[in-house]
């Protein structure tokens, strides 16, 4: 049995400052070579924090990180200096939620891609330009030569997102981190970007961790889904298992709150209440205050993570719903 490309164990992240906020609490998961893992949950559940921690993007002065992260044999939390620079982009790369902010506005798309290639591969400018143009064409940007010489603000939202994907992939990383890459795009472009990511993933064989709050996007792209709530993974398993037979009350609430054409005229379902304050987490299960099935045990003891078939679950009183065919 081959070892996973990504191995995260008991990862904790706490932000310090005027007050402490525990953003991640004992998060553990593996990602196999060529696998796509979707992180699903409400805003503030810890999805983006997880990705940024995998790339060591949080300011060290105000961030306390515990646990371990191994990516392609690299002990990520111990990397420093040049080794960390080579890891970012060369081993793991990221597609940000808003490419307009991720690109430097005073340099062209081509200049930024060439700089990344030369920093990681040490090739001459002409070779780097050729590789950059080739990648722009692979992400299906029309008139790649013109876009190569364009500034970020000169591209549409969809083209900027494609250029961001090209920049993330141009140094052939083994792991791609995608942080809600379609949130700011219209529905038609969202589908195009999702299909493009999946196509490139299959073509290159890289692993992907895909963050979204859109269940439809997770189903379209992911092989497995990890549902996060208040900095913890509460349920994780194959896409079909989690979507058709969710067992955690929070996962059930998320799925029930999605709408489709068949739901026209029906009341909109929603998870009651609000997520907890990360600077003052409850003693027991973080979801207990919003859960209709909560007991005294839920309010006083943090649920243990156990295996239920092929899924992992952190809940004292899971309930399997009748299988839903989607």
Domain contains 59: yes
Contact 175, 203 (CB under 8 A): no
Q: Which residues contact 168 (CB under 8 A, 6 or more apart)?
A: 89, 93, 94, 95, 176
- For residue 236, pLDDT beyond 60: yes
pLDDT, position 321: 56
Q: Is the pLDDT of residue 214 over 90?
A: no
In a domain, 271, yes or no: no
Evaluate if residue 262 carries a pLDDT over 70.
no
- Of 146, 115, 147, the C-alpha closest to 129 is 115
Chain position carrying tokens 């889904």: 225
For every residue of 309-321, DSSP letters joined together read TTEEEE-SS--PP
Is 156 within the bounds of a domain?
Answer: yes
- The better pLDDT of the pair 164, 183 is held by 164
Q: Is residue 88 part of a domain?
A: yes
**Does position 100 have pLDDT exceeding 90, yes or no?**
no
Q: Is residue 162 part of a domain?
A: yes
Q: Give me the CATH number covering residue 90.
A: 3.40.50.300
Domain range spanning residue 76?
Answer: 6-249
Residue 312, pLDDT score: 92
The DSSP letter of residue 27 is E
> In this predicted structure, what is the pLDDT of residue 326?
39
Is 320 within a domain?
A: no
210: left (phi over 0), alpha (psi -120 to 50) or beta: beta
Task: Report pTM.
Answer: 0.91
Is 300 inside a domain boundary? no
Q: How many domains does the chain have?
A: 1
Q: Which two tokens stand for residue 265?
A: 């005229």
CA dihedral 31, 10, 236, 216 (to 10 degrees): -70
Q: What is the 8-class DSSP label of residue 263?
A: G
- Residues pairing with 176 in the sheet: 93, 208
Lowest mean pLDDT among 79-83, 133-137, 164-168, 265-269: 265-269
Over residues 289-309, the pLDDT tens digits come to 999 889 999 999 999 999 887
Angstrom distance (rounded) from CA 266 to CA 203: 42
DSSP-assigned beta bridge partners for residue 33:
none
Count CB-CB contacts under 10 A for residue 74.
Answer: 17
For residue 170, tell me if it sits in a domain. Answer: yes
Residue of 252, 223, 264 whose CA lies nearest to 313: 252
> In this predicted model, what pLDDT tens digit does every residue of 24-76 receive, in sequence order?
999 999 999 999 999 999 888 999 999 999 999 999 999 999 999 999 999 99
What is the Rg, in whole angstroms, of the alpha carbon atoms belonging to the chain? Answer: 21
Mean local confidence (pLDDT), 226-241: 95
């Amino acid at each position: 049995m081959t070892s996973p490309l990504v191995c995260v164990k008991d990862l904790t992240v706490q932000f310090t400052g005027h007050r402490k906020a525990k953003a991640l609490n004992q998060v553990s998961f593996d990602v196999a070579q060529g696998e796509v893992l979707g992180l699903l949950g409400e805003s503030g559940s810890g999805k983006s924090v997880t990705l940024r921690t995998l790339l060591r993007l949080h300011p060290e002065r105000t961030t306390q990180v515990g646990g371990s992260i191994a990516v392609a044999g690299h002990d990520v939390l111990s990397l420093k200096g040049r080794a960390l620079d080579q890891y970012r982009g060369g081993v793991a790369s990221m597609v940000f939620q808003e490419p307009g902010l991720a690109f430097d506005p005073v340099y062209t798309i081509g200049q930024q891609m060439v700089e990344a290639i030369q920093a990681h591969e040490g090739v001459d400018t002409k070779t780097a330009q050729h590789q950059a143009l080739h990648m722009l064409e692979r992400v299906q940007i029309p008139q790649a030569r013109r876009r190569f010489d364009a500034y970020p603000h000169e591209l549409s939202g969809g083209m900027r997102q494609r250029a961001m994907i090209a920049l993330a992939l141009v140094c052939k990383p083994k792991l791609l981190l995608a942080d809600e890459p379609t949130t700011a795009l219209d529905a038609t472009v969202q589908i195009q970007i999702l299909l493009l990511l999946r196509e490139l993933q299959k073509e290159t064989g890289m692993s992907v961790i895909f963050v979204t709050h859109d269940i439809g996007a997770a189903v379209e792209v992911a092989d497995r889904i990890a549902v996060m709530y208040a900095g913890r993974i509460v349920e994780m398993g194959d896409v079909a298992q989690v979507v058709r037979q969710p067992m955690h009350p929070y996962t059930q609430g998320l799925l029930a709150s999605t709408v489709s054409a068949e739901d026209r005229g029906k009341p909109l379902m929603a998870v009651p209440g609000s997520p907890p304050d990360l600077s003052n987490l409850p003693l027991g299960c973080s979801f207990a205050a919003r859960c209709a099935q909560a007991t005294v045990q839920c309010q006083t003891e943090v649920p243990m993570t156990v295996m239920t078939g092929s899924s992992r679950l952190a809940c004292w009183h899971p309930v399997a719903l009748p299988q839903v065919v989607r």
